Structure 1
Amino acid sequence: MNRNVATIPQDLIAALKKAKHVVVFTGAGVSAESGIPTFRDSLTGLWERFNAEDLATPGAFRKDKELVWGWYEWRRMKVLQAQPNPAHIAIAALATLVPKLTIVTQNVDDLHERAGSTDVLHLHGSLHSPRCATCGQAHILPPGIPVEPEGGRRLSPPVCICGGLVRPGVVWFGEDLPVRELRQAFEAAQKCDVLFAIGTSGLVQPAARIPSLAKQAGACVVQVNPTSTGLDRECTWSVRGAAGEIMPNLLQAAFGRTA
């Protein structure tokens, strides 16, 4: 059932007010409202002759480590220059208004955390958590915004204490999602009362199972997205519009609070 953003359904408001456990499942659309390009957007500037999907594989890193590391550092720089938007802030505020909130994200940025959310389940890893490609040891990046690689292309990755090279801490094509985070996300979906799917197409598996698991367990599923998606049939309510407008409005309607 489609709903206009200007008229948040009263039964959705009632369901949120009485919920004991809420899951918020976010995708690229939420970060896009902070100016972060989605992964499949056309690359621009010095990177425009590359295909993002060709850079996001273990094979690409083995073939040209400097190219891949440079591109991911460029992406991390763009993220660090962005700011959490009203949707991130409203989601963080929601944690103080319901008994339990679980945030699950497909995004590799840290905008949820910078908005004040804690214990975020990152299903696709994080740009800010690189690790050694050989031993798996976590690597601490220097603080601040990195300098864009010379020429916008290549940058040598750091070297681990074991002698291996550090790789981006994201899940690449052909790799499995982190077992612990995926298990916790599935468990939360099966135990929640209300699940919000915000800014996600519902196409990328296995994360796309999360709304279905919630629905099968009897939860209300709320989609927040400007356009129709593959999740439409899973939803109890589908609220069309920008998450940065809808989520603060929903908090005001349900709890009399603006984020």
Structure 2
Amino acid sequence: MFVTSFEFKPRGLSMPCGVCTLSRTVSRISLRGGSGIGRAICEKLASSGAQLIVADLNESVAKNTVNALPGNGHSSFQMDVCKSDDVNRLQHFIKSSGSTPSILVNCAGITKDSTLLKMSQKQWQDVIDVNLNSIFLMTQMIARESVSTQTPVSIVNVSSIVGKIGNFGQTNYSATKAGVIGFTKSAARELATKNIRVNAILPGFIRTPMTEAMPPKVLETMVSMVPQRRLGEPEEIANAVLFLASDMSSYVTGTTLEVTGGLGM
């Protein structure tokens, strides 16, 4: 799912326009625009005055999300985050709106967990495609558009704390999220002089429909690892996205913001 905001003017903030990629509809999604973190980001941006284009592999999910958002002027867009042709279609769709995006939030992510000894190449490649390649495609497209139109851009990439500390059964997911961190820092160095900021958020254990379905003992073990002794809320991730997307963070680039309750410090 993707979100593009064109008129982003929350009260008390100076916000540019933007694009936010949230997720692709695949089994075991880690970030889904229709619920959990992705939905919270959509609602936060929309409630702050954004006009959103919500795109997903599943068009009905995109439409349902749009219908639930506050404000007017939102629209849905069906696409596959992994395909360059679809990214180009999104670019044409954005141009046809007559607005130049100046926020990009890359949140696309899936998990296909397995131990290293049992993981198939398809499990590995699918996660690489969605979690990492999508960020390259979207960032390149928006950065080129920014340079062409001389529009300042703030890019926020959603990584994960497991990209820093690893996680059992997630060599593919952890590798992609570590890759997001490296990509963020390299892109920030390349694009800083072009008035493009690039930052990353590292969520920890967040309360989502997936965590709510976990056995109580598994959930207790997760919480015990967090210094604050609780799960994070999706809105807490959305708040961090809003900060990095806005002019409140105008002198921030190339940084990674951990939103983890202290996990990983």
TM-score category (smaller protein): 0.3 to 0.5
Compare relative contact order (CA 8 Å, sep 6+) and give the higher one, 1 or 2: 1
Q: What's the TM-score once normalised by structure 2's chain length?
A: 0.40
**Larger Rg belongs to:** 1
Q: What's the TM-score once normalised by structure 1's chain length?
A: 0.41
